[in-house]
Structure 1
Amino acid sequence: MDNTKTFWEAHKDVYATAVAAPMKALAAALADEFGDAKIYRPYRDVRFAKDKTPYKTHQGAFVAKGPSTGYYVQVGAPGVRVGSGFYEASPARLASIREAIVHQRHGKELEDVLAALGSAGWEIGGDRLKTAPRGYDVDHPRIHLLRHRSLNVGKSYGFEPVIHTSELLDRVRADWHEVTPLVEWVLTHARA
């Protein structure tokens, strides 16, 4: 609630021991299977933001499997959240993703992956256009996917008791395995 430098400096040790160290330990335990994670810094980039609060209110870690594509975990005020997908794409990369979405077989594969994840409780998200992207018919059967400029899935654990136990590692590992088909689809079809 007190997002000031004075408060931060007085409680930096709490961040280091109760937030950063457990996140680093979780990431390290997953590294052999998924790869090394980037642990995000607690400082916000406020140069162009209207909100000038200097510190993040969550701690995240990201395992990159390709450009802007991989696995994510964060802990914050709402609890623990996991996710996966791609968070941005160059115009060429986005064009190749859309080309795969239009393709009869590859587009159906993505639909099936997302349907299975949705049925398993994953929220499908990402930055989307309000209209059809230029050059695509608004009546295309996968227009809902073609509108995506980023595509991710996420699941929140909230404050379930598991987040305070060693079982959290198993849960994150299982969820990241569950979303691996989405990561693999993006890596297969996103060129450049």
Structure 2
Amino acid sequence: MSFTGFPEAALDFYDDLEVDNSKVFWEAHKDVYQQSVAEPMTALTDELADEFGTAKIFRPYRDVRFSKDKTPYKTHQGAFVGVGPATGYYVQISAPGVRVGSGFYHADAERLANIRRAIDDDLHGAELERLIATLSKKGWEVGGDRVKTSPRGWSADHPRIDLLRYRSLTVSRDYGFDEVIHTPELVDRIRKDWRQTRPLIDWLVRRG
């Protein structure tokens, strides 16, 4: 199945799901989810797999066991291409449109320590600074989970303390309602953007 774009019905589906996140709504519109969201996402990631690898398409159901929010369904559909531990390329569709990203989304204590040691190193740390600065200039939004103060063992006046504070580090870009999301050209747009972030992914895999 070739990717032809996400139909308007995909955005409408998530608009409505945000208003009525219930099993009754889901069962009544399950065919819309399947045809307008799940199938196009599978086709999209299949076309990108030759270069980036096979994607994991996340289940639409929320894990509510330990959450105060008991709404049963996610209000977005995400897919992730992993190239390292919790590291790789991401795409999602939701009511606000399409969003892409790259980076590492979680690290255990050992891996996070390795990344921080690499950031501390003048050569490797400066390389990461340049990569992040380049992506920022190209319009990528830098984000991730950060400690509020200095991580244990690191001085607040470290020249790269802002990077050392990250417990996860991502870059993302919104396409929103750009007409491209409804066309086959979305594949090439994502391919180009993921390629831009590949040096960051390579750094994280090597240094983690």
Q: TM-score range by the shorter chain?
A: over 0.9
- The count of aligned residue pairs is 190
CA distance in 2, matches of 1:148, 1:139: 16
CA distance in 2, matches of 1:126, 1:26: 26
Structure 1 position 91, deviation (Å)? 0.4
CA distance in 2, matches of 1:141, 1:178: 26
Match of 1:173 in 2: 191
Amino acid at match of 2:55: A
CA distance in 1, matches of 2:162, 2:68: 31
CA distance in 2, matches of 1:187, 1:28: 23
Alignment of 1:1-150 (within 5 A): 1-150=19-168
CA distance in 2, matches of 1:4, 1:32: 37
What SS is found at the alignment partner of 1:140? Answer: coil
CA distance in 2, matches of 1:189, 1:110: 10
Tell me, which stretches of 5 or more residues in structure 2 are unaligned? 1-18
What SS is found at the alignment partner of 1:155? Answer: strand
Q: TM-score, normalised by structure 1?
A: 0.98
Could you give the per-residue CA deviations for residues 23-69 of structure 1, whole angstroms, max 9, x where no partner exists? 00000000010000000000000111111110011100000000000
Structure 1 position 90, deviation (Å)? 0.7
Match of 2:5 in 1: none
CA distance in 1, matches of 2:176, 2:161: 32
Amino acid at match of 1:106: H
CA distance in 2, matches of 1:166, 1:32: 16
Could you give the per-residue CA deviations for residues 108-132 of structure 1, whole angstroms, max 9, x where no partner exists? 0000000000000000000000000
Moved segments of 4+, more than 3 Å:
none
Could you give the per-residue CA deviations for residues 81-106 of structure 1, whole angstroms, max 9, x where no partner exists? 00000001010100000000000000
Match of 1:157 in 2: 175
Percent pairwise identity: 65
Structure 1 position 2, deviation (Å)? 0.9
Amino acid at match of 2:159: P
CA distance in 1, matches of 2:110, 2:181: 39
What SS is found at the alignment partner of 2:65? Answer: coil
Query: What is the RMSD computed on CA atoms of the aligned residues?
Result: 0.4
What SS is found at the alignment partner of 2:175? Answer: strand
Amino acid at match of 1:37: A
Tell me, which stretches of 5 or more residues in structure 1 are unaligned? none
Structure 1 position 165, deviation (Å)? 0.5
What SS is found at the alignment partner of 2:26? Answer: helix
